[in-house]
Every structure is written in C-alpha cells, then in structure tokens.
Structure 1
Amino acid sequence: MTKPAPRRITIVDVARHAQVSTTAVSKVLRNAYGASPAMRIKVQQAIAELGYRPSAAARGLRGQTYTVGVMLPDMRNLFFADLLDGITAQLSGTDYQVLLAPGCNGEKAEARVMEAMIDRSMDGLVLIAPVSSKARLNTVARSVPTVVVGRHGPSTTYDTVTDDDVIGATLVVEHLADLGHRRIAHIEHQETDPVRLAEMPNAQRANGYREAMRARGLADEIDIASTSYTHEGGYLGTKELLARPARPTAIFAGADVVALGAMEAIAEAGLSVPGDISVTGYDNSALAAFGPISLTSVDQDGRQMGANAARLLVDRIGDRDRRTSHVKLTPSLVIRRTTAAPPAS
C-alpha cells in the first residue's frame, strides 16, 4: 500500500511551534520592520526544527517568487558557464535563485521553455542568444521582466547585453594578417531566418570577418564554411575548407567549441596546428585556456556579460516602466599557441 505524501509544513505550523502569530512569522520571512530580535530568533528556530520551506507558488500569488529563469541554447558550450558564473555572482547576497532550462536552438523548444517559466511565476528571465522572433521576445517581455543576452538590436520592452562581435572578428583577422596569413577562412553558424539575421552574434562575426578582410586588401581571399556553432560544425566546416584547391593557412572559428572540432579535423588530415594551419576561436572559454589546447581566442568577458544581465534584470523587476538599457562590451584577443606565421610556400 502506497503511503500518502507527508503534509507540507505551513506558516501556521511555524507560528504554533514558536508560539507567535502568523503575522509575526510573515514579518520574519519577509525581513520586514516590526519583528524584534527575540521574535526573529524564536521564528528562525521553529523554521529550522520543523524544516519549513516557503511555497514558491504561494509567494508568486503575493507578487514574487524570487526565482530567475535562465534559458541556454546549448548546455555543452562552456562559454555559457561563464555567463552563469556572472549571473549567480551578481545575485549572491539576494533572495533570488537561478533556475536553468535548455532552449535547444529551436523556436518551438524556446517557446515551451519561456511559457513554462512564465506559468511558474518566475520574477524575471535571462534569455541567452535566443532564436525566437523579435515579436515573440517582445510578447514575453511584456509579460515578465526580460533581459536578452547576445542578440543585437534595441528593444523598448527588454534590456540587452551584447559583445561587439564586429570588433571581435576584426581583432582575429588583424592578428592573423599581421602574422602574414592571407588565406584566412571563417566557420560561421548558418542563419536560416533572414529577418533575424542582423541581430544574431554569429552573423555579426561573419560580417566583421568580411569587413576586416576587405580592409586588409584580402577581399579575394574571403572564404566561409557555413555549418553550426558546435564541435561537429567545426569538424565538418574544416573538412570542407581543407578540400579547397588552395586550402587556408588560418581558420577563424566562430566559437571555441567550433575551434575544437576544427583542430580535430586538421589532425585527422595529418596536419598540425599551428605549423600547417593556425586556428582561432571566440569566447575565451575555460577550454581555450586549457594548457594542451592553448587556443587563441576572443575574450568577450562572459562573467561580466552575465553580471550585467543580472543587474539589469533586478533593476527591471524593481521598476517595470523604466527605459530599457542596452549594454555592449568591447572584446579583447587572447593570443596563445594555436596561431603562428603561415608555413613557407
């Protein structure tokens, strides 16, 4: 016979155990004015002895659940861990808790995640590189305070945090060109929605690559493999580039995880990095700094991006009507062992 689930401890149980009113318990829980130090000690002791946990649903009915939803496009990309570190560090010392969900790089999956977060009365959302339409994002932001990370383009309904992806791509091309490379190829994330194209970080990086190549007089050498910002995408994109009649001497991968796939394909072809082909990434994730990899990469300061997103979200929760803010960080290039001068002809 199945035992019934244990009854949830309520605020009434805490009040009885502490021999105080439910109003007094509520004041202690909300850290409100009017509860004496002695009262706080009695209530907190009762909470500890009974194992009381406030009901998020009940708190939501009163106005706040103190939960923040963070939607990630891909749980395997280590750069997103840097963003999360920044978000959680900024929220430390507050009552807010972060809950994660994967958006899976698809509009339908993202819609389900965002609806679930709204249905659970989360106080605010941080959406990292969402692929949903701008109209959809605006609809969500009108329902719940929202910060979008990685999408370019201003909005009057949600705040944004971005990296200057054009400058980041320019830093890569200039570094490689200064080393003497001319055949510099790029692996981009293929964008299927022309309406969304201009706002996406992958498109900004590809445009920055093209502009920088033209500025260095290398317009005829522009070469792009369109795959995906994944390990597999880097691998397949590099195999495509290596099959060219004149293979590149350097590959600019649009993300660190892409660069890892590129390096695998290069090794499989019996070539070396950087002896035969230089490789750069983008994100400066923990993998890039890992000694055996030592990947040259663009640092867009994910922790600072996350901290800014959390700060903007808390400000938005506190004042829904304030003017939207749009923060853009300036990246830097971290040079490591995967880039060198091109091999002699």
Structure 2
Amino acid sequence: MKIGVLDTDGDFKHRFFRDKKLDIRRKSTNGEYRKYGIGFTHGEIVCSMILKENPQAEIILYPIISENMKCSVLELIRGIESLIESGVDIINLSVGDEYNYHPELESICKDAQRQGILIVAAHSNRNVYATYPADLSFVVGVKCTDKNSPEKIMLFDESRNEVIFSSSYFSLYHLEIPRLIQGNSFACAKISGLLSWHKDSFREALKNLEHSFLNHYYPCETLKQKQCLFCTNRPNDQMEQRFINEVTNTIANFTIEDMDSEMVRQLHDWEILFIDCDSYQAVLPYKDKIRDFKILHQEKEIVLRYPLFSLEERMNLDLQYRVLIHQFFI
C-alpha cells in the first residue's frame, strides 16, 4: 500500500521511523528543518501518524509545503501529478486553498480518482467557508469540531464524504511524547492510515468505526466505581500517587515489569486494569500480552491512559472477538 503525502520535510531520525518504508522525493535540502518545540516537523508528525495506523504502508513524501505551512496552488497541483505518476494508492493532503475554487485543482484530483487513487484531505483549521480539495464531493474531507463533553469520537457524513472528529487533539505517544497536538492535519493522517487497510471499501470501514463500541470516550468516573489494578512506570511520582488516590479505586499498584504476575495473582479481585505508562517503548514489548489477556478474560476491563493500539487494531479486536480495549486518546 503506497500512500502519497504532500507536506513539510524533515530528517526522520527518530527510532519510530527506523523500520518503516519512507521515500522522500526532495528537490534540494540544506539539512535544516523548522521543528515544533517538541522536536518534530509537521511532515514528520503526519507521516508518523499514518504509519502508527499502518506500519506496513510505504510513504512517498513530496515536501512541497514551506516552513510557514504554505504552498501555491500550482505546487499543490504538481505535487498531486507527481504522486499519480508514482503510482500511489492514497494521497494524504494537509494543505488546501481556503479562499478560492480552482478548476485545475479539481481536474487533477479527478484524474487521481479515475486512476483508483483515494484522496484524503484536511479542512482548514480556521473557520472558513470552504477548503479545496477537502470540500470536493469525491475527496474524503477531514475536520474537527472540539465539542464540549462529546460522547462519540468521530462521525462520518456519507452525504458529504466527510469525517468529523469531536476533538482536534491527537496523541504523540508513539514518538515518546506523552502529549497531545492539535490540528485537522493530524486527524487526516489518522484517517489516511486507517483507510489504507480498507481503500476499496472505505465508506463501509468509516461507517463500521462510527457505529462500533470503540467510538466512545471512556467514562473516567468508572475508575472510581470499580476495583482497579494500577500499572505504572513511575510508582514513586507524587502526581501519579495523587492520580491513583483521587481518580481511581485502586486495590494494588505495580510496575510494568510486574504486570504479568500481578494480573494473574489477583485475577479474582479486580475489575479494571489501568495502564499508565508514559513511555511508549517501555510498554510496547507487553502489547501482545495485553491483547491476548483481554481475549482470554473478556469480563475484565483494560484501560490505557495513552494509545498503545491503533484504530485498526482495536477495530479488528472488536470485529473478531467482540473485545474492546479502552484508550483515553487516539
């Protein structure tokens, strides 16, 4: 599965990218990139979120967006042309025109569609009347609304071919940053990664996600109502101890290294296993064990503070086993 990306450049030196397929088609570079304060460029974050959803995908990146997050309509059209020539299956666009409709832009997008390429495009982060190509009817447009106390994570408006997230904040956990970043571009990347598993039936996949159990935010008050095992990588941290005492009804807490033995030893005593490990690499070796334990013990709830599992992985667990692993964020 080849995913074409038009975005900013980057050095992609973080270990998350080491085993990933990433082809950067640069015209030239001086090796210097404008990075957010968290140490990554916009393009690096977008590509990482696509690959978090589908680690097997191959990304072809044309870095046409400048450091000030701008590019001309002509550069956008030429970028899409280049991706069509590169034989991609999906095109992910973080950029568009917020002011004007351009028939030439629609024409090249239609050329892509005729060749079987799915275009997923972010709407503007600003409250504008339209964003092109995200507002074209045959393009999957992605935006966020930031609702107060939302129940559902996303909606799919099939009539407009539009994915709408109820929050514009997305996790950087997989990049070893236990923080959230805001923007429609990152929602778009999530959807591109997800749909790369379902390109030929993308509408069905989006409807399945919309109507699945995992399309709900976890009710945090449940942590106080049920008996919890609390797994953490920072048991002596004062803020963590305060969280344990004030937010959960914890009967025992332990480190990630002791998770296997403690889950089994106290199997009959707990209802929720809450995993609060702020290091993605530290918990990653336990990912399969967490999944397998949940399949075997479906009566137990497993809740992760940070998103270890992708949307596709959680959807498959739901469809194959009727199993739901809860995560606070995506």
TM over 0.5: no
The structure number with the bigger radius of gyration is: 1
Q: TM-score, normalization: structure 1?
A: 0.32
